[in-house]
Structure 1
Amino acid sequence: MSETTATSSGSVTGAEIRLENVTKQYAGQKVAAVGDLTLTIPAGEIAMFVGPSGCGKTTSLKMINRLIEPTSGTIMIGGEDSRKRSADELRRTIGYVIQGGSLFPHMTVAKNIALVPKLLGWDDDRIKKRTDELLDLVSLDPSRYRDRYPRELSGGQQQRVGVARGLAADPPVVLMDEPFGAVDPITRQRLQDELLAIQRELRKTIVCVTHDIDEAIKMGDRILILQEGAQVAQYDTPEVVLGSPANEFVEDFVGSGSALKQLSLARVDEVGTFPQTTAKIGESSAEVIQRAQAAGHRSVVVLDERNRPVGWPWLRQLKGEKIVQSEHAPDAIDRRATLNDALDVMLVNGHGGAVVTDAGGAYFGVVDFTSVTDQMRAMQEKAHEVSNG
């Protein structure tokens, strides 16, 4: 399996994964934990494994990096049989992210991220550069977080470090087992958006286990719905799974609100954004206020030196001579966030809109409440027409 390196933003750096008749049979059990599983995950896509407890989704995931050895069958990664390499060598070329980040408490953030690169023999300068690059990628300032210990981080920050560690050696494949299950809903949404933004740039092959069908719909290029024994109930795009469930099991698992769930397929950049007056830290407040008033705006989005939103104050709040960074950054959403996510943010920020960011957290624009609700209403009406023939 050859390692790949991103040469430009958006280029595919992942590897195809192919499972052929993969089975896991534990001694003393009549029914296989995973029975004759066959599927292909295209390079550069996110495949979400979802299903009821005990269906074999985590077992299937762990067989890819041989944390669990298959009883029979073949797993090909990048066209190469995974059994032709030692298990340790294989795992060093596959990122692995689990719930809570699973950081070593006695190691700093930087040392946690550096684990696999050190095992691969990278020199110190290369490791430091890669560590800082990844912390920046997961929206953690390297100068602030590099030397902290896990106990000094919030749950969401620990999970970000876990993602950075999974990407440290630039693996073509990243496995994720309930990566966002231990954080609160708002942090969960932010982490999902960040991962989607990272994936747009890096295009790894990501296999993610979740119990949440809504997360699967939002995150997945493809969704694998498993029944007991890892029997494939359906494996397809979210649109097909929602619009044409393969059988009664899938219908029941997706739920009766599948038409409403299709709203999760609509993304913010399909609605479009509008320009908002922006200001850089250190600019003259008077000049910014004059510019905003001329544009008919009552607030401004404050950006840092890297064009990332760090504040969204009302004009009446700009009292000093210079624009300063707000105490709390706005709850920005990625442009590939769902309309449901956009509404969640809008309902708590009081602006009647949401700041939208692009890859790397750079400012992209503002989406307003009316545009989002109009789009959702149109989709709902269309879904209703389809369901009624």
Structure 2
Amino acid sequence: MTDDRHNFGAEIELSGITKRYPGQRAAAVEGLDLTIPAGKTVMFVGPSGCGKTTSLKMINRLIEPSEGVIRIGGEDVTTTNPTELRRNVGYVIQGGGLLPHMTVAQNIGLVPGLLKWGKRRIADRVDELLDLVGLDPSTYRDRFPRELSGGQQQRVGVARGLAADPPVLLMDEPFGAVDPITRQRLQDELLALQDELHKTIVCVTHDIDEAVKLGDRILVLREQARIAQYDTPDRILGSPADDYVADFVGSGSKLKQLSLLRVDDVGVEEFPTCTIGEDVAAVAQRVRDRGEDSVIVLDARGRPHDWVWLRSLQAAALSGGRSGDTVPVPDIDLETTVERRSTVNDALDSMLVSSHGGAIVTDHGRYAGVIRYESVTEYIRALNAAGGRDDG
């Protein structure tokens, strides 16, 4: 972020947090003690009914704790105005939770408006955040939620959660309602955002693979939100605290290593690119000089739009019936991209739908190179030869 007012994450401390509901003998949450480091992502996992969502919602007091103290950045928020607290803690739910009668810009600008930001500042913030989550402001700011796909709604939901630049972002199963490919992209975007913003993110998920991918730490809960293990993904997978944790995360295997390895661990390779609007003949010559027969199409901002065979590119140019044909704007939804911080598992998934034996790698949405299937297998072979990671 370029704004000097940018807020980095704040430490969250839960001390003796308990929630009892009238008419129930057992507490929903019993004596939870937990410290969430500033600027880190912590994933809450556990079986249904274990209290993970209740614990999350007590942080911004959507659910009031019966006992205990919650501190954010050292300040006891259990004694502050709950409405003011919620305006300073971002909150993202499944499906984005957008207000259907408001435009995208109005949804994102809702909390800044309540905080009395000026109109120009709100408009600038809306455009900044839409760009940050990969949506063109000129295209999307005036649309209504019903005009967006599920993934786009979720992106807007994340933007709204970040609108007032809160130090803390709470996420309740944020990607559970979208298809697997969209979920992977949204996870990648969250990793890229966190790499830039360094917020304190607390996220509830039922998916252990998502927890391993996104979390700096994972909190595995038993019933009544009793802590079974609170540790790094490496140790959760490789050294589960007991049989309960081992059963929950699943048995260790070589495939689990791929959930810990990142694309950056393997490394990216250079590959020929062209820009929309370039002369096709010049592009074809340049690509052949590199000994390749395909090219990655980028837009003017360096974002990948397609990975196309030269023969297909030239056929498209010939069908136009014009001299000096240029690279057209692709009209497909590119599925073969991963972010630098994506898992190797995700990269392999993208490779399966690619006809090029690899996946395009981006860095905050901009083209960074490619990762090849052969590179992944060679890296894992070398890792195993050197002893690799603990297989659990």
TM-score, with normalisation over the residues of structure 2? 0.93
* Structure 1 partner of 2:52: 57
Show the 5 A alignment for 1:86-235.
Answer: 86-235=81-230
Secondary structure (helix, strand or coil) at the match of 2:245 reads helix
* Structure 2 partner of 1:341: 346
Secondary structure (helix, strand or coil) at the match of 1:43 reads coil
- Write the distance in 1 (CA, Å) between the matches of 2:17 and 2:282: 65
- Write the distance in 2 (CA, Å) between the matches of 1:209 and 1:258: 25
Secondary structure (helix, strand or coil) at the match of 1:349 reads coil
* Structure 2 partner of 1:307: 302
Determine what percentage of the aligned residue pairs are the same residue: 64
* Structure 1 partner of 2:322: none
- Write the distance in 1 (CA, Å) between the matches of 2:7 and 2:235: 24
Aligned CA distance change for structure 1 residues 237 and 374 (closer, same or farther; 3 Å): same
* Structure 1 partner of 2:320: none
1:317 to 307, 312, 315: 312
Q: Does structure 2 retain, via aligned residues, the 8 Å contact 1:176–1:206?
A: yes
Query: Offset at 1:301?
Result: 1.2
- Write the distance in 2 (CA, Å) between the matches of 1:258 and 1:224: 21
Q: Deviations over 1:307-344 (max 9, x none)?
A: 11122111112222211221125321101111110011
Query: Offset at 1:299?
Result: 1.1
Q: Work out the number of aligned pairs and report it.
A: 382
| C-alpha RMSD of matched pairs (Å) | 1.9
Residue type matched to 1:161 in 2? V
- Write the distance in 1 (CA, Å) between the matches of 2:386 and 2:12: 36
- Write the distance in 2 (CA, Å) between the matches of 1:380 and 1:33: 44
Query: Offset at 1:378?
Result: 4.6
Query: Offset at 1:76?
Result: 0.6
- 5+ residue gaps, structure 2, are 318-324
Residue type matched to 1:363 in 2? Y
- 5+ residue gaps, structure 1, are none
* Structure 2 partner of 1:362: 366
* Structure 2 partner of 1:283: 278
Q: Does structure 1 retain, via aligned residues, the 8 Å contact 2:238–2:391?
A: no
Aligned CA distance change for structure 1 residues 12 and 214 (closer, same or farther; 3 Å): farther
Query: Offset at 1:375?
Result: 2.7
- Write the distance in 2 (CA, Å) between the matches of 1:93 and 1:383: 46
- Write the distance in 1 (CA, Å) between the matches of 2:254 and 2:284: 44
* Structure 1 partner of 2:375: 371
For the pair 1:327 / 2:331, whether they are aligned, the reply is yes
Secondary structure (helix, strand or coil) at the match of 1:318 reads helix
- Write the distance in 2 (CA, Å) between the matches of 1:143 and 1:23: 46
- Write the distance in 1 (CA, Å) between the matches of 2:227 and 2:3: 33
Q: Does structure 2 retain, via aligned residues, the 8 Å contact 1:6–1:202?
A: no
* Structure 2 partner of 1:293: 288
- Write the distance in 2 (CA, Å) between the matches of 1:54 and 1:79: 30
For the pair 1:269 / 2:247, whether they are aligned, the reply is no
- Write the distance in 2 (CA, Å) between the matches of 1:12 and 1:380: 41
Residue type matched to 2:342 in 1? A
Aligned CA distance change for structure 1 residues 149 and 114 (closer, same or farther; 3 Å): same
Q: Deviations over 1:235-266 (max 9, x none)?
A: 01000111111111101101124553232010
- Write the distance in 2 (CA, Å) between the matches of 1:24 and 1:170: 29
Residue type matched to 2:369 in 1? G
Query: Offset at 1:381?
Result: 6.6
Query: Offset at 1:386?
Result: 5.0
- Write the distance in 2 (CA, Å) between the matches of 1:385 and 1:306: 38
Q: Deviations over 1:337-377 (max 9, x none)?
A: 11110011111121111100002x01100011111233344
Q: Does structure 2 retain, via aligned residues, the 8 Å contact 1:259–1:383?
A: no
The runs of at least 4 aligned residues of structure 1 exceeding 4 Å deviation read: 4-8, 377-388
Aligned CA distance change for structure 1 residues 5 and 85 (closer, same or farther; 3 Å): farther
- Write the distance in 2 (CA, Å) between the matches of 1:28 and 1:78: 35
Aligned CA distance change for structure 1 residues 183 and 247 (closer, same or farther; 3 Å): same
Query: Offset at 1:383?
Result: 7.2
Single out whichever of 318-327 and 208-217 deviates more from structure 2.
318-327
- Write the distance in 2 (CA, Å) between the matches of 1:23 and 1:300: 57
- Write the distance in 2 (CA, Å) between the matches of 1:180 and 1:47: 16
Aligned CA distance change for structure 1 residues 229 and 381 (closer, same or farther; 3 Å): farther
